[in-house]
Structure 1
Amino acid sequence: MSDKSTAIYGGQAVIEGVMFAGKHVHVTAVRRKDQQITFLEVPKKPNNFLTKIKKIPFIRGIVGIVESAAKGSQHLTYSAEAYAEDESDKTEKVEKPKEKERWNLTMILGVALVGILSFVVGKLIFTLVPAFVEGWIFGHAFENKILHNLLEGVIKIVFLLIYLFFISQTPIIKRLFQYHGAEHKVISAFEAGSNLTVAEVQKFSRLHYRCGSSFIIFTVLVGIVIYSFFTWDTMGERIVQRIILLPVVLGVSYEVLRWTNALRDIPVLKWLGAPGLWLQLLTTKEPNDDQVAVSIASFNRMRELDGHASTGNVAAAQSL
């Protein structure tokens, strides 16, 4: 039980599956078209420099984001490849081999590119475009820079909600968000000390304080506060300022996320994490039993390999 009370795990939804990151290994479980569950198991390579850096407040958040994006792209590629292979099997009688190969390659490269670039590019877009829009609409309406920052934050949130709403309507993203919910349910069940069965896991909420969705909304709220300490005279200065301060906003937002998670059991202070939970109403969906089973399989396999790695027996675990 002591391990359960101290271990903190994170995960990520992938196409038709879930990835969990352990202390020594990342594991992705994917549900194939034949209903079998396949796994990608990637041991972590020790890096003393990164280990030291990730202990430094405000810097550790930025390092963690970059590392997560790099690791996540590998697992997204694996799930995309499995999905493309299954879809190709359904149409191989009508598709020419070269066409099928081209489709697979496009799918794989596209998801890998999204995994690597989506956060950086997306964050820049959601940082710079609202600043342009706010300046265009309200630039000459008043001089109060704090009010300008507040309106910029409101525009960011509106853009974010509209974007998430529309992409959540597409079938593949809806299923991705269901697996996101399944990931949260498994982590919550584990942290509560519950048995990891489908029936028990389904009793837990699909929302979780330590989610990347919460981090996104915190970057908007923290940005409003940080930008208020600086001023600008032109739109060019405002944009450059936003780019320069972006790492600061990310680093502080990560610490705020950790803080709200630590306080989530205190009746009054738990409401600090409410904005992130509200956003998760869009970025997660209720999973079905099969999706929860995949999430449990991924988590159990990760824990199994982590246990063997702790005893120096990774090779034995991977041969099971």
Structure 2
Amino acid sequence: MPQSNSIYGGQAVIEGVMFAGKHVNVTAVRRKNEEIVFYEVPRTTMKWLKPLKKIPLVRGVVGILESSAKGSQHLNFSVEAYAEDELEEEKANGTAPAPVEKPKKSGLSLTAIFGIAVAGIISFVIGKAVFTLVPAMVEQLLFGQAFENIILHNLIEGLIKIIFLLIYLYAISLTPIVKRLFQYHGAEHKVISAYEAGMELTIKNVQRFNTLHYRCGSSFIVFSVLVGIVVYSFFTWDSMWERIYLRLLLLPVVLGVSYEVLRFTNSLREVPVLRYLGYPGLWLQKLTTKEPTDDQVAVSIASFNRMREIDRQVEQSQAS
């Protein structure tokens, strides 16, 4: 497979992988009958968002919210497929509840898709706000009166965030469904790495690559903590409520700067010494990715190939 200048990303979903192409986002999910099914959504961006995606700092916030919205649609598809398989298994075992008649679904309506997208954005914002505020409150309660050095307060706050994050990720990784999700996350990274290396996407070739990747959202989480320590150090507060207010006000700034840092470290990953700037994110990925099975890699390859196929069809159509 020839190398390309195209930069692809994706995410793991329940029993599958989503890849974002230039013209389409494609999710492949393996059902319990071993069939691989696809969910394909054309990539569209509102006209008023396009100029914002070219502005440094602003483009990061826009991109993150857009990814949360679109990613939630694909996650919802995988959850529905998984739930249907579980129900079928219960029926086969005679343990399912009495069926309730409902119209056969022909796909998500535009209203449903919009609702899921909005829910994805809200979930991301609330989750990020909680992850930002709780460590600040804990640090304030424990050390608020112990000393006045703002930088030291921020360092301790950042340490508390990292500890909370590691405990949370480790705890959920022990559950079977999340462990498999993290395996699919590893499969997604392996396919992207194999493609970027110009390798033919076979299971054998893909499995040779590492589950870690510089451009991962897990790396973004680490950078947001580190960037937050720096950004918050430029501001002082006199009470816990003022501290919380500043954290919420500065959250878009932290997200925007973190996105730029992630892009910068990714551009330096082939530069000796400087490539180590991306290592904190790679270390966190040791928790959020697991070695995938061959079957999981096959699903990831199927998703990527389908995305590339549709991209080519769209481009050929536009050229003719």
Q: Is the 8 A contact 2:154 2:233 kept in 1?
A: yes
In structure 2, runs of 5+ residues without a counterpart are: 103-111
The answer for the alignment partner of 1:317 in structure 2 is none
Structure-1 separation of matches of 2:20 and 2:190: 15
| CA offset digits 1:264-294 (Å, max 9, x no partner) | 0001000000000000000111100000000
The answer for the alignment partner of 2:49 in structure 1 is 50
In structure 1, runs of 5+ residues without a counterpart are: 102-107, 315-320
In the TM superposition, residue 258 of structure 1 has moved relative to its aligned partner by 0.1
1:312 aligns with 2:313: no
1:295 aligns to what SS in structure 2? helix
* Letter of the structure 2 residue corresponding to residue 206 of structure 1: T
1:149 aligns with 2:154: yes
- Among 200, 203, 209, the alignment partner of 2:205 is 200
In the TM superposition, residue 75 of structure 1 has moved relative to its aligned partner by 0.5
Q: How is 1:6-155 mapped onto 2 (pairs within 5 angstroms)?
A: 6-92=5-91, 93-98=94-99, 115-155=120-160
* Letter of the structure 2 residue corresponding to residue 293 of structure 1: A
When normalised by structure 2's length, the TM-score is 0.91
In the TM superposition, residue 48 of structure 1 has moved relative to its aligned partner by 3.0
In the TM superposition, residue 126 of structure 1 has moved relative to its aligned partner by 1.1
The answer for the alignment partner of 1:318 in structure 2 is none
1:250 aligns to what SS in structure 2? helix
Could you say what the CA RMSD is over the residues aligned between the two structures, in angstroms? 2.1
1:211 aligns with 2:222: no
The answer for the alignment partner of 2:274 in structure 1 is 269
* Letter of the structure 1 residue corresponding to residue 14 of structure 2: I
In the TM superposition, residue 5 of structure 1 has moved relative to its aligned partner by 3.3
| CA offset digits 1:190-210 (Å, max 9, x no partner) | 001011000000000000000
1:253 aligns with 2:252: no
| CA offset digits 1:53-107 (Å, max 9, x no partner) | 1111100110011111111111011111111111110112332335798xxxxxx
Structure-2 separation of matches of 1:271 and 1:146: 24
In the TM superposition, residue 44 of structure 1 has moved relative to its aligned partner by 1.6
Change (3 A) 1:272 1:128: same
The answer for the alignment partner of 2:107 in structure 1 is none
How many residues are aligned here?
Answer: 306
The answer for the alignment partner of 1:181 in structure 2 is 186
The answer for the alignment partner of 1:170 in structure 2 is 175
Structure-2 separation of matches of 1:30 and 1:267: 38
Structure-1 separation of matches of 2:8 and 2:259: 16
| CA offset digits 1:204-250 (Å, max 9, x no partner) | 00000000000001000000000011111111110000000000000
Q: Is the 8 A contact 1:77 1:112 kept in 2?
A: no
When normalised by structure 1's length, the TM-score is 0.91
Structure-2 separation of matches of 1:47 and 1:147: 43
Structure-2 separation of matches of 1:56 and 1:114: 26
